[in-house]
Structure 1
Amino acid sequence: MSAHDGIEIERKYDVGEDAVVPSLTGVAGVASVRDGGTALLDAIYLDTEGRELLPQRVVVRRRVGGHDAGWHIKSAEGDVRHEQQWPLGDADREPEELRARIATRLREPAAPLVPLARLVTTRTTLILLDAEGGAVAEVADDRVTAVEDATGEERSWREWEVELLDAAPEGADADGGLLDAVQTELLAAGARPSSSVAKIARALGLG
């Protein structure tokens, strides 16, 4: 079961319940916007009993729903997130190759992974298109409900996420690029740069 490796360039924003995603047609580099539909994402996030991965900004999850259902390892550096993904397979246990990739980050390479939290997200997406119809970015409107495994505590929030897609122009992630142009409109609509580094951190009450 081989992994798919990729890089995501994205930004996240905190928003209130009444916020409305603004019209982004006319933003520099965006000629039109397509409805990307709504999906229900159901994810279990895991770590060792001692939570060794989270301080390293490494996330392991098993997610059902959406176009990228499967097992994931994600690590972050600024707006850039590295991701490895494996198919769901038939078992609830993580793929052996995933275990091998996190082994060097653990004091005990064979330490079992245990659930941290379950996150259920209703995701509504818009696809931003350039003049040729190429998809340059995706804007996701996420409504999240999380239940922490250890305490049973439930937390809910809403966030917007903007991710560059394959047709994004070269340098779109640089200062003055596409992400900045979209961000200007989102901030004007009431969004704020996310106070949390990842959904799982917020699910656990870590910010």
Structure 2
Amino acid sequence: MTTEPRSSLEIERKYDVEAATAVPDWSTLPGVASVGEPEPRELDARYLDTADGRLAEALTALRRRTGGPDAGWHVKRSTPEGKLETHWPLDDADESAPVEVPEAIIAELAEVAQPPFEVIARIRNSRTAFALLDAEGGMVAEFVDDRVTATDERSGRTTSWREWELELGPAAPSTAAGVAELFAAADELVASVGGAPAASESKLGRALGR
């Protein structure tokens, strides 16, 4: 793997919703003028860690995901500002073969964990994404409606649920006050249709019962 990785900071809000919960009108959020057409995505991710959970201990997640516009390898680190994600393109591995972590990613993780890495969870997600746009067509945020099936590979336990995510985009508010106002309005909108802030910080955490 020779392509240089790219990094981005994800600032998002996650919500737990029931299977039949109606999607609210996101165009009522501050700064949002319109909602783009739904974009379906079928995502399949395998998450890895060491046998003794060194990555989890370092608040870091490693996954290889197929499907969607950001298919590839991802290292996600939790920070006070949000989740710092570093992304590499997919390798040419046989999808039916055991997952092997590329050397570039092993080097990236060297300060917190050493191989061998093993698959700890598989998360499959039928996602529908919507761009929330301002009056000039800039993306204020992306809303995704996720229907998730996850398997804890160590215990064999499989769970399914539905959740929503709202992730800030390039045209999001530029101040902390503006971001807080946007997310507060989103919280109210989700509550109005029966949803609530997610009980688990991540899909991986929920898959593993954390």
TM-score between both structures, scaled by the size of structure 1 = 0.92
Distance of 2:130 and 2:194 partners within structure 1: 18
Distance of 2:154 and 2:180 partners within structure 1: 43
Deviation at 1:122, TM superposition (A): 0.5
How many residues are matched?
203
User: Which sections of structure 1, spanning at least 5 residues, go unmatched?
Assistant: none
The corresponding residue for 1:39 is: 41
The AA in structure 2 aligned to 1:119 is: I
Q: Per-residue CA shift, 1:12-44, capped at 9, x if unaligned? A: 111111211101213210111112411100000
CA contact (8 A) 2:172 2:179 kept: no
CA contact (8 A) 2:46 2:64 kept: yes
The corresponding residue for 2:150 is: 146
CA contact (8 A) 2:152 2:158 kept: yes
The corresponding residue for 1:137 is: 141
After TM superposition, the structure 1 stretch with the greater mean CA deviation from structure 2, 113-122 or 31-40, is 31-40
Q: 1:167 aligns with which of 165, 171, 192?
A: 171
CA contact (8 A) 1:142 1:158 kept: yes
The corresponding residue for 1:122 is: 126
CA contact (8 A) 1:172 1:178 kept: no
The corresponding residue for 1:103 is: 110
Q: Detail structure 1 runs of 4+ shifted over 3 Å in the superposition.
A: 172-176
The corresponding residue for 1:199 is: 203
After TM superposition, the structure 1 stretch with the greater mean CA deviation from structure 2, 186-195 or 91-100, is 91-100
Deviation at 1:177, TM superposition (A): 2.8
Q: 1:57 aligns with which of 34, 59, 62?
A: 59
Q: Per-residue CA shift, 1:147-169, capped at 9, x if unaligned? A: 11112111111110000011113
CA contact (8 A) 1:86 1:95 kept: no
- Give the alignment of 1:70-109 within 5 angstroms: 70-78=72-80, 80-91=82-93, 92-106=99-113, 109=114
CA contact (8 A) 2:187 2:196 kept: no
Pick closer, same or farther for the CA change 1:176–1:113 going to 2, 3 Å. closer
